[in-house]
Structure 1
Amino acid sequence: MGPHPAVAAVRLAVRTALADLSPGDVVLVACSGGADSLALASALAFEAPAAGWLAGGVTVDHGLQLGSDTRAEGVAATLRGLRLDPVEIARVTVGTAGGPEAAARTARYEALDAIAEKLSVAAVLLGHTRDDQAETVLLGLARGSGARSLAGMAARSGTYRRPFLALDRSTTQRACSEAGLAVWEDPHNLNAAYTRVRVRHGVLPVLEHELGPGVTAALARTADQLRDDADALDEWATRAAETCVGQSGVDVAALEGLPAAIRRRVLRRAALAAGSPANDLSSGHLAAMDTLVTDWHGQAFVELPGGIRVHRVDGRLELGRV
């Protein structure tokens, strides 16, 4: 008799996501102790010996809750109980930039990046599910974000891999139950002060009720489709930037003939290269830059976040600090 379907599903997802790795490659699972990441850790622990991967785990202590250090030790013990090795605890200090959710995410990824580099890992596994993907798309819609944001999370992004993006949260919960794993329910996941929590427990259930089941899956499919489009547009913009952007600035004549979607991507690259912070650079800023190309009538300059000023001079855009 084989494993329960939920257990089989999470194992297959991990096996598929890591099919390109070789024996001896180091794989880490980032684990909070919740159902998604615990199911991921359990699946990795099962698959690694046969594949010859060196499988370890890391848990991040954000220090935002009383007893978080004890909780991190407990998660680490669970990972060791699954025979993952090495197991690391990353203790971080969470800042304030971008709000509590964004600040915690930034601190978490910085810690994961550092450990991945230290251990020369081939992949870091993250437990995001189809439900998380749907929430990400809805948040992007609410913010009026562009195609890249609505494309959600990629199954692969550098060292990071998300094997569970095609699985729903109920599957990971059932996999943990079948494996006898004690799941930790993070109190922050019930705190309505967080936007994502309100989407998870308020907005998505209403959509499923009013529009019928399948909304979560449809939002995830939308992300997949938009990611293909965004990837194609980004590739086009990369090629365009090679001819438009130089040491002396951005060539206006070369930009003028490009579609708006490509033109603004090139302008965004130029702004970031000049030092404008990505998190603060909005579509409004890019639209203002675009007027220097498509609707220029002698405007003096455009101000960008980070103290960057954009001038049009002799047929090119020059970007520099004030």
Structure 2
Amino acid sequence: MNQRPPLHPAVAATRLAVRQALVERAGSRGDSVEMPLAIVALSGGADSLALAAAAAFVGPRCGWRVGAVIVDHALQAGSAGVAERAAVQARKLGLDPVVVALVSVEARELGPEAAARQARYRALEEHAAVSGASLILTAHTRDDQAEQVLLGIARGSGARSLAGIPPHRGLILRPFLGVTRVDTEAACEAQALEPWLDPHNEDDSYARVRVRHRVLPLLEAELGPGIAAALARTAEQAREDAAAFDEMVNELIEDVVEHAEAGISVSLAVLSSNPAALRHRLIRRVAEAEFGSELSREHTLAIAALVTNWRGQGPIYVPGIKVIRSRGSLLFTRQIGSPREAESS
């Protein structure tokens, strides 16, 4: 009797991760009799190619059709050839449909990396809408998660950033957040897949590349192995804490906020009676939800001081908003133009 060769451990790890993710998201299938569609965001690199192979194998066994979208950012010479090679490998794996989407990246306000990411996700979401896909699978790994957490720490951007890359958001599902980059590369080799090596991943002008090639290896050398796994666990715990705080804010927000004639009125009594972590989240939520403004830590603390350390100061100006303390409330109003012009008028 012929025995099957043993499954390579890295291939098994990638398939198990995809299977667990698809089973957990079974509710995304909807009520259609037809098998739902999941599309893989495929760059042609080892991570996304390993994801495409795992999804092609596991998807139909879990009741999913699987396709792929290859986004060509046209930022490098030969990008069209890279996209086509990725498409050829996707079709060989049995993915259908396979689409190459050419996008225009405009980096006037955002940096090139952020602008490319924005264009990529826009293209993925547009294709999902056209094709009726229920899920978009991206290949962020445990190593990506560790790098994201370190970058968040370096920026001092708080618990939300420390929570790293979420495992799912909207249509986006990230099955590989527990899979290492070593595993994705080994899975490609074991399945005779030919990943593309992105030269941007070696360009140390990018902070993420410096973290990957310098900072994490140094931490591993000085503090011992397992740093990436520990950072990923930190992100998971931070996400749990952030989710709990979000739920508390959602419960409080209706008791705190009133729409006043001049703007948004927020109860001083409720703000002062809650811990700083909740108070700051409430302030940031009002600024973002009502005015579309993302407050820095310094802006948040300046507004919070009107509650906890008021000595007659004010008004406080933050991007697009003026905040004053008035009659037992903080009053948030939209600020158009410079604060100096507003004060002199």
Note the C-alpha offset of 1:119: 2.2
* Aligned residue among 24, 28, 31 for 2:42: 31
Corresponding residue of 1:158: 170
CA distance in 1, matches of 2:124, 2:164: 20
* Aligned residue among 222, 234, 245 for 1:233: 245
Corresponding residue of 2:326: 313
Note the C-alpha offset of 1:253: 1.7
* 2:44 partner SS: coil
* 1:47 partner SS: helix
Pairing of 1:16-95 with structure 2 (within 5 A): 16-19=20-23, 20-21=25-26, 22=29, 24-95=35-106
TM-aligned CA distance change 1:120 to 1:208, over 3 Å:
same
Amino acid at match of 1:180: A
CA distance in 2, matches of 1:58, 1:13: 20
Cα deviations across residues 232-262 of structure 1 (Å, max 9, x unaligned)?
Answer: 1111111111210121221222211111111
CA distance in 2, matches of 1:255, 1:94: 42
CA distance in 2, matches of 1:49, 1:99: 39
Corresponding residue of 1:213: 225
Cα deviations across residues 125-182 of structure 1 (Å, max 9, x unaligned)?
Answer: 1101111111011001111121111111121222111111111110010000011100
Asked if the contact 1:62/1:91 (under 8 Å) is kept, the reply is yes
Amino acid at match of 1:18: L
CA distance in 2, matches of 1:25, 1:152: 29
Corresponding residue of 2:141: 129
Asked if the contact 1:35/1:176 (under 8 Å) is kept, the reply is yes
State the percentage of identical aligned residues. Answer: 52
CA distance in 2, matches of 1:172, 1:133: 15
Asked if the contact 1:312/1:318 (under 8 Å) is kept, the reply is no
TM-aligned CA distance change 1:95 to 1:303, over 3 Å:
farther
Q: Which moved more, 1:250-259 or 1:308-317?
A: 308-317
CA distance in 2, matches of 1:297, 1:192: 48
Asked if the contact 1:274/1:319 (under 8 Å) is kept, the reply is no
* Aligned residue among 257, 268, 271 for 2:284: 268
* Aligned residue among 131, 137, 142 for 1:119: 131
Corresponding residue of 2:179: 167
* 1:124 partner SS: strand
Asked if the contact 1:35/1:173 (under 8 Å) is kept, the reply is yes
Note the C-alpha offset of 1:124: 0.9
Note the C-alpha offset of 1:303: 1.7
Note the C-alpha offset of 1:67: 1.8
Corresponding residue of 1:250: 266
Corresponding residue of 2:275: 259
Amino acid at match of 1:295: N
CA distance in 2, matches of 1:217, 1:117: 35
TM-score (norm 1): 0.94
Q: Which moved more, 1:65-74 or 1:197-206?
A: 65-74
Which structure has the larger Rg?
A: 2
Note the C-alpha offset of 1:296: 2.3
Corresponding residue of 1:288: 302
* 2:68 partner SS: strand
Corresponding residue of 1:12: 16
Asked if the contact 1:274/1:308 (under 8 Å) is kept, the reply is no
Note the C-alpha offset of 1:109: 1.6
- Consecutive unaligned residues of structure 2, counting only runs of 5 or more, are 337-345
* 1:18 partner SS: helix
* 1:267 partner SS: helix
* 1:164 partner SS: helix
Deviation beyond 4 Å, 4+ runs, structure 1: none
Asked if the contact 2:321/2:332 (under 8 Å) is kept, the reply is no
Q: Which moved more, 1:222-231 or 1:105-114?
A: 105-114
Task: Give me the CA root mean square deviation.
Answer: 1.5
CA distance in 1, matches of 2:156, 2:187: 36
TM-aligned CA distance change 1:118 to 1:246, over 3 Å:
farther
Q: Which moved more, 1:6-15 or 1:19-28?
A: 19-28
Asked if the contact 2:22/2:62 (under 8 Å) is kept, the reply is no
TM-score (norm 2): 0.88
CA distance in 1, matches of 2:258, 2:133: 36
Q: Which moved more, 1:114-123 or 1:38-47?
A: 114-123
- Consecutive unaligned residues of structure 1, counting only runs of 5 or more, are none
Note the C-alpha offset of 1:50: 2.1
